[in-house]
Amino acid sequence: MLNTSGCAEVLYMEERFPGVYKENESFYTENLVPGSAVYGEPLLRSGGSEYRRWDYNRSKAAAALKKGVTRFPVARDGAVLYLGASTGTTVSHISDIVNEGIVYAVEYAPKVARGLVSLADTRENIAPILGDARKPAAYASLCSTVDVIYQDVAQKGQIRILKENADLFLRPAGHAMIAIKAQSISSTEPAETVFEQAKDQLREDFKILAGKKLAPFHTDHLYLVLKYSS
């Protein structure tokens, strides 16, 4: 059913996690900037609110939701440090969820970060940071302590990057979500071996709460939800 603006409309949206909704087989977030799509995603209206479809082929977090991940620890008033923000596809949905909080979005590549800065111009709860996630001390003055770290950094030292940022920014008993890309860690070892080694390293500082492999949407990726125990 379409309303007068041409936007699809449904009667009911199921809230699966705070700020994360499901309708049929798709996941949505409530649009912080009604009437505006970020990357061409479909918009849907229900109960007087507008929602953005979360594309699981473009977002590791959406793929994890699609695969049935059982934890998604992002609160409406939370502070999130996002490592590997790119142009802001997933950042924009996290921004929808933390509509009373803030997302510190770190991106290394200046050309890519331009899109992130443009997104932040329309979303006041995104603080873009041009920085190297491998060197968290360099942007410590731009980021406060956070409740959640979200990491999607395709580099060999993915686990070390998460640990060093957690030591600086993550609150005690805070949470982290990480998309581990096996081939970025090792191009010769089987993905399963890489994943097990990564989990062993993470257990030194985190408790693993949930996890999902993201195939077929993202090949050789493991998505983990963690609780900080240091």
Return the pLDDT at 8: 84
CB atoms within 10 A of CB 171: 14
Task: Tell me the three-class secondary structure of the chain, residue by residue.
Answer: CECCCCCEECCCCEEEECCEEEECCEEEEECCCCCCCCCCCCEEEECCEEEEECCCCCCHHHHHHHHCCCCCCCCCCCEEEEECCCCCHHHHHHHHHCCCCEEEEEECCHHHHHHHHHHHHHCCCEEEEECCCCCHHHHHHHCCCEEEEEECCCCCCHHHHHHHHHHHHEEEEEEEEEEEEHHHHCCCCCHHHHHHHHHHHHCCCEEEEEEEECCCCCCCEEEEEEEECC
Domain extent at residue 42: 8-53
Q: Match 């793929």 to its residue by tokens.
A: 63
- Same structural domain for residues 81 and 181? yes
Same domain, 168 and 120: yes
Q: What CATH number does the domain containing 24 carry?
A: 3.30.200.20
Indicate whether 42 and 68 sit together in one domain: no
Query: Is the domain of 46 the same as that of 68?
Result: no
- The pLDDT value given to residue 11: 75
Same domain, 166 and 68: yes
Residue 216 confidence class, pLDDT cut points 50, 70, 90 = very high
One domain for residues 115 and 204: yes
Residue 3 scores a pLDDT above 70: no
Q: Is pLDDT of 87 > 60?
A: yes
Report pLDDT digits (tens) over 135-184. Answer: 999 999 999 999 999 999 988 899 999 999 999 999 999 999 999 999 99
- Shared domain check, 68 and 48: no
Tell me if 21 is assigned to some domain: yes
Mean pLDDT calculated for residue range 119-137: 97
Is a pLDDT exceeding 60 seen at residue 5? Answer: no
How many other CB atoms are found less than 10 A from the CB of residue 199? 17
Predicted pLDDT of residue 123: 98
Q: Are residues 16 and 105 in the same domain?
A: no
- Residue 2 pLDDT greater than 90, yes or no: no
Are residues 22 and 106 both part of a single domain? no
- With 60 as the cut, is the pLDDT of residue 130 above it? yes
Please tell me the distance from the alpha carbon of residue 101 to that of residue 94, in angstroms, as a whole number. 10
CA pair distance 159, 182, nearest whole angstrom: 12
Give mean pLDDT, residues 17-28. 96
- 106-143 in b/e form (b: 16+ CB < 10 A) is bbbeeeebebbbebbeebebbbbbbbebeebeebeeeb
Phi, psi for residue 219 in degrees, rounded to 5: -70, 135
- In the chain, the number of structural domains is 2
